[in-house]
Amino acid sequence: MASYNDVVNWIRDNLEGVQKQGSGSYLFEYAVSESRSQLVLIQVTDEVVMVQSPFAEVTDINSEVAANLVSENSLLGLRKSAEHFYISNLLFLDDLDDSEIRTSVTLVGEEADRLERTLSSTDLL
């Protein structure tokens, strides 16, 4: 797999309940356990695939707390939007294979859920 279309087709064929959010953006609910789930957003461009999942709202913690929490507890990246902090992972399309996407979805979803549980016992996002 090494093209935009290959990734988009993989997403459609292998992930359940995927909702297209716009050009190259796909959102779905990753089941962490029977009682917990995480929203996962996959953004595809001609060069990269970004897999990300929110773990906190920006109104609940500040950027410093989020950065410290992620840097002390995760090997994945931190992103901030207007509303949320996200755990993220960036994959390059050049030599990407489907196992890397599946692994990234699992890592990002599990890590976002773990950080969310660190901040609150409620399944928020």
**72-76: long-range contacts (C-beta < 8 A, 24 or more apart)?**
73/114, 73/115, 73/118, 74/111, 74/115, 76/107, 76/108, 76/111
**Rounded Cα gap, residues 121 and 12, in angstroms:** 32
What pLDDT band is residue 120 in, cutting at 50, 70 and 90?
confident
CATH architecture of 4-119: 2-Layer Sandwich (3.30)
Where exactly are the structural domains of the chain? 4-119
pLDDT, average across residues 11-40: 93
**Rounded Cα gap, residues 66 and 60, in angstroms:** 10
pLDDT digits (tens, 9 = 90+) for 89-114: 999 998 898 899 999 999 999 999 99
**Rounded Cα gap, residues 43 and 27, in angstroms:** 9
Mean pLDDT of the chain: 91
pTM: 0.90
